[in-house]
Amino acid sequence: MAKFGKSIIFILVLLLITAIITNTAIGSTNISPLITAKILLARYFFIEPTWTSSQEIIITNIRLPRVLLGGLVGAALSTAGCAMQGLLKNPMADPYIIGMSSGAALGASLAFMLLLPVQILAFIMAIITIFIVYNISVIGGKVPVDTLLLAGIAVGSFLAAITSLIIFLAQSPHQIIFWLMGGLWTANWDKVKITAILVTIGIIMLYRYSWKLNVMLLGEEEAQYLGVNVEHVKQYVLVFSALITAAAVSVSGIIGFVGLIIPHIMRILVGPDHRILFPASTLMGAIFLILTDTFARTIMDSVELPVGVVTAMFGAPFFIYLLRKRRDNLYA
Amino acid sequence: MLKIKDLNVSYGQTQVLQEIGLSATEGEFIGIIGPNGSGKTTLLKAITKVLKPTSGTIVIDGTNIEKMGSNEIAKNVAVVSQVVSINFEFTVKDIVLMGRNPYIKSSESVEDINIANDVMEKTNINFLKDRMITQLSGGELQRVIIARALTQTPKILLLDEPTSHLDITNQIEILNLVKKSSTKGMVVIAVMHDLNLAAYYCDKICLLRDGCMISIGTPKQVLTPTNIEVAFNLPIEVMNNDRTNSIYVMPILEPLNEISD
């Protein structure tokens, strides 16, 4: 790993910590970042309280879980997007590309209709979707990338049609529609804990395949000549990308763009070596979603915007700027 | 070192290789020639187990490759493929180091780096070390790919038309480089199109047509007017190059004014 890469990771870690503290401080009730930091530290060390108990409740029970959940979801989506782009060698790849978002959306819609737990159904449907898409794509023990992408689009469209039907027939469709826009307003400590466990496991497992993914960027056949068991890597990377994406989507709805642009931006900054690109994407994804979510919940006095709307509204123009600035192929 | 016996390979119903037998000893430079679609690339793919044969055996150093995992094969056999394009901004150093993949679990060791450095030195690409792979010329890129293959420290080096898209100087430099490796004990098997370069560099030539081996032996034995007529449907003249003591093959061409119509 290059020295340059290590220092970028170090800077991103510092930025993430700063983002967590400052964004926990920001909200309708103003609490200074210093007091916020003290309240946070007081969870682990003894600090003489200089704050009110209502301040403490706002910070620890409302804002902190929200910021942490945002960070986890952003990290998961960005890491999964990075893995999918590397694995499929397709610049359009994001965590949702093989139909997972459609599966999760259908699960959530069903849950709203039947009054079942949304998080669980969305998670299960997302996993079932990737299982179906994968099995459709297997030809003679191999999974050709093109088939995988097309099967993902086909299955995704089918599931999206069912979701549309449910929305059309639903008594109160706005619940489903809000969920589809993506938001973190239901954040609580239980969600943070479950997501933290799943996302951490998935991300660590993906990191273990950084080197193999690098070699696979040379092309599947070349990688095979260099001794990579290509189909094994595909399976493994798909499973753990699916796991963290499903974990993220099930608590936050469908937040677009994070998983697409953050890995691209980091690839421009740190290069294609996944041993640096992965952690850089993870950290930047977390920072980006924490910032956009704070914007989403504070920009209007009376109402919170869905963060999915904000990520695309900010992300897309910035991404277009990068596309135009780099005259050569962005993915190269 | 390498023994191929009664090898048959099919793509679905079509048989692409029929009863191929070939053996190579240490340091041998073997050329595989034949018209397009005669099964040359397929033969290389069978040796790396990318394609499964319908019957026959391939044995490397006493071990049947059926019993080898992809990692073990990559430790024994390295491949320089026909068309290589890398669209990601890795440095030359990174790409060469990827040749160590079969020996690397998660990150490279000092030994891996030393081997890569050593190969870059020997292949004269040290000056390219920190350049982006996306910015190299065709000749430079091919050199890097060969360096990567040598970094695998293979016993057998397979090359699929390693020089067909290069200019004449680069063709010769690349083949000299490969020849040097073979004289150090590596088996080299190269698919070649230029019959004259094949005649000059190869110890042994194997001529394929429609998946069958129609001739094998020294260049002088294989590159005869009859063989070439049968394989390529082209009349040739064989001459002797006194300077290199190798043979020289010329297609018999009609004067241009007779085909202008």
* Sequential DSSP letters for B12-41: TTEEEEEEEEEEE-TT-EEEEE-STTSSHH
Looking up tokens 């450095």, which residue turns up?
Answer: B117
- Residue A230's pLDDT band, with cuts at 50, 70 and 90, is very high
Residues on chain B touching A271 (C-beta within 8 angstroms) = 89-90
Give me the torsion for CA of B100, B101, B104, B107, rounded to 10°.
Answer: 90
- In this complex, do A332 and B88 lie within 8 Å of one another by their Cβ atoms? yes
Contacts of A46 by beta carbon, 8 Å cutoff, 6+ apart: none
Task: Compare CB distances from B102 to A1, A208, A227 and report the shortest one's residue.
Answer: A227
Q: How far apart are CA A249 and CA A76, in angstroms?
A: 9
| Positions in chain B whose pLDDT score sits under 50 | none
Q: What is the mean pLDDT of residues A14-27?
A: 94
Residues on chain B touching A208 (C-beta within 8 angstroms) = 106
User: Which residue is closest to B46 within chain A, CA to CA?
Assistant: A225
- In this complex, do A273 and B152 lie within 8 Å of one another by their Cβ atoms? no
Q: Identify residue A141 by its one-letter amino acid code.
A: G
Q: How far apart are CA B127 and CA A100, in angstroms?
A: 46
Task: Compare CB distances from B106 to A211, A227, A329 and report the shortest one's residue.
Answer: A211
Q: What is the mean pLDDT of residues A159-172?
A: 92
Q: How far apart are CA B50 and CA B36, in angstroms?
A: 20
Contacts of A257 by beta carbon, 8 Å cutoff, 6+ apart: A94, A311, A312, A315, A316, A319
What's the helix, strand, coil split of chain B in %, to 5? Answer: 40, 30, 35
| ipTM, interface predicted TM-score of the complex | 0.90
The pLDDT > 90 percentage for chain B reads 76
C-alpha A53: how far from chain center:
33
- Residue A316 C-alpha, separation from nearest chain B C-alpha, in angstroms: 23
Rg (CA), chain B: 19
The pLDDT > 90 percentage for chain A reads 69
- Answer whether residue A30 shows pLDDT above 60: yes
Contacts of B177 by beta carbon, 8 Å cutoff, 6+ apart: B123, B143, B146
- What pLDDT is stored for residue B23 in this prediction? 93
- Residue A328's pLDDT band, with cuts at 50, 70 and 90, is low
Write the pLDDT tens digit of every residue in B133-178.
Answer: 999 998 899 999 999 999 999 999 999 998 888 899 989 999 999 9
- What pLDDT is stored for residue B260 in this prediction? 64
- Residue A231 C-alpha, separation from nearest chain B C-alpha, in angstroms: 11
Q: Is B70 on the interface with A (CB under 8 A)?
A: yes
Q: Is A90 on the interface with B (CB under 8 A)?
A: no
Whole-structure pTM value: 0.90
Q: What is the mean pLDDT of residues A309-316?
A: 88
Instruction: Give helix then strand counts, H and E, for chain B.
Output: 9, 12
Neighbours of B234 (CB within 10 A): 14
- In this complex, do B70 and A224 lie within 8 Å of one another by their Cβ atoms? yes
Alpha-helical runs (H) found in B123-167: 138-151
Q: How far apart are CA A79 and CA A85, in angstroms?
A: 10
Is residue A117 within 8 Å of residue A103, measured between CB atoms? no
Give me the torsion for CA of B11, B13, B16, B22, rounded to 10°.
Answer: 90
- In this complex, do B50 and A225 lie within 8 Å of one another by their Cβ atoms? yes
- In this complex, do A329 and B87 lie within 8 Å of one another by their Cβ atoms? yes
- Answer whether residue A2 shows pLDDT above 80: no
Query: Which residue, among A215, A225, A266, A267, would best test binding to B if mutated, counting the most B CBs under 10 Å from its CB?
Result: A225
Residues on chain B touching A210 (C-beta within 8 angstroms) = 106
- Answer whether residue A222 shows pLDDT above 70: yes
Q: Identify residue B191 by its one-letter amino acid code.
A: V
Q: How far apart are CA A191 and CA A182, in angstroms?
A: 15
Pairs across A and B, CB distance < 8 A: 67
Here the tokens at position A127 are 């996993």
3-class SS letters over chain A: CCHHHHHHHHHHHHHHHHHHHHHHHCCCCCCCHHHHHHHHHHCCCCCCCCCCHHHHHHHHHHHHHHHHHHHHHHHHHHHHHHHHHHHHCCCCCCCCCCCHHHHHHHHHHHHHHHCCCHHHHHHHHHHHHHHHHHHHHCECCECCHHHHHHHHHHHHHHHHHHHHHHHHHCCCCHHHHHHHHCCCCCCCHHHHHHHHHHHHHHHHHHHCCHHHHHHHCCCHHHHHHCCCCHHHHHHHHHHHHHHHHHHHHHHHCCCCCHHHHHHHHHHHHHCCCHHHHHHHHHHHHHHHHHHHHHHHHHCCCCCCCCHHHHHHHHHHHHHHHHHHHCCCCCCC
- What pLDDT is stored for residue A249 in this prediction? 93
Supply φ then ψ for residue B8, to 5 degrees: -120, 135
Neighbours of B38 (CB within 10 A): 24
Handedness of CA B133, B136, B141, B147 (dihedral sign): negative
Q: Which domains does chain B have, with CATH numbers?
A: 2-258 (3.40.50.300)
Here the tokens at position B243 are 């300077």
HSE at residue A245, side-chain half, CA atoms within 13 A, is: 38
- What pLDDT is stored for residue A1 in this prediction? 46
Parallel/antiparallel/unpaired status of strands B246-251 and B236-241: antiparallel
Q: What is the mean pLDDT of residues A310-320?
A: 86
Handedness of CA A267, A273, A278, A279 (dihedral sign): negative
- Residue A312's pLDDT band, with cuts at 50, 70 and 90, is confident
Is residue B244 within 8 Å of residue B198, measured between CB atoms? no
- In this complex, do A217 and B152 lie within 8 Å of one another by their Cβ atoms? no
Buried b (16+ CB within 10 A) or exposed e, A33-44: eebbbbbbebee
- Residue A196's pLDDT band, with cuts at 50, 70 and 90, is very high
Task: Give the start-end residues of each E strand in chain B.
Answer: 2-11, 14-24, 29-33, 55-60, 63-64, 77-80, 156-160, 187-191, 204-209, 212-217, 236-241, 246-251
- Answer whether residue A87 shows pLDDT above 50: yes
The helix (run of H) or strand (run of E) holding residue B115 is helix B110-122
Task: Compare CB distances from B98 to A208, A226, A331 and report the shortest one's residue.
Answer: A226
Q: How far apart are CA A156 and CA A151, in angstroms?
A: 8
SS3 label, residue B204: strand
Write the pLDDT tens digit of every residue in A234-270.
Answer: 999 999 999 999 999 999 999 988 999 999 989 988 9
- Burial class of residue A157 (count of CB atoms within 10 Å of its CB; 0-12, 13-18, 19+): exposed
The helix (run of H) or strand (run of E) holding residue B195 is helix B195-201
- Residue A332's pLDDT band, with cuts at 50, 70 and 90, is very low
Second CATH level (architecture) for the domain A69-325: Orthogonal Bundle (1.10)
Rg (CA), chain A: 20
Q: Identify residue B15 by its one-letter amino acid code.
A: Q
- In this complex, do B89 and A210 lie within 8 Å of one another by their Cβ atoms? no
Write the pLDDT tens digit of every residue in A111-137.
Answer: 999 999 999 999 999 999 999 999 999
Q: How far apart are CA B245 and CA B258, in angstroms?
A: 34
User: Which residue is closest to B48 within chain A, CA to CA?
Assistant: A225
User: Which residue is closest to B73 within chain A, CA to CA?
Assistant: A227
Q: How far apart are CA B173 and CA A83, in angstroms?
A: 39
Residues on chain B touching A229 (C-beta within 8 angstroms) = 69-71
Give me the torsion for CA of B236, B241, B246, B251, rounded to 10°.
Answer: -10
Contacts of A54 by beta carbon, 8 Å cutoff, 6+ apart: none
Q: What angle do CA A66, A70, A72 make, to 5 degrees?
A: 115
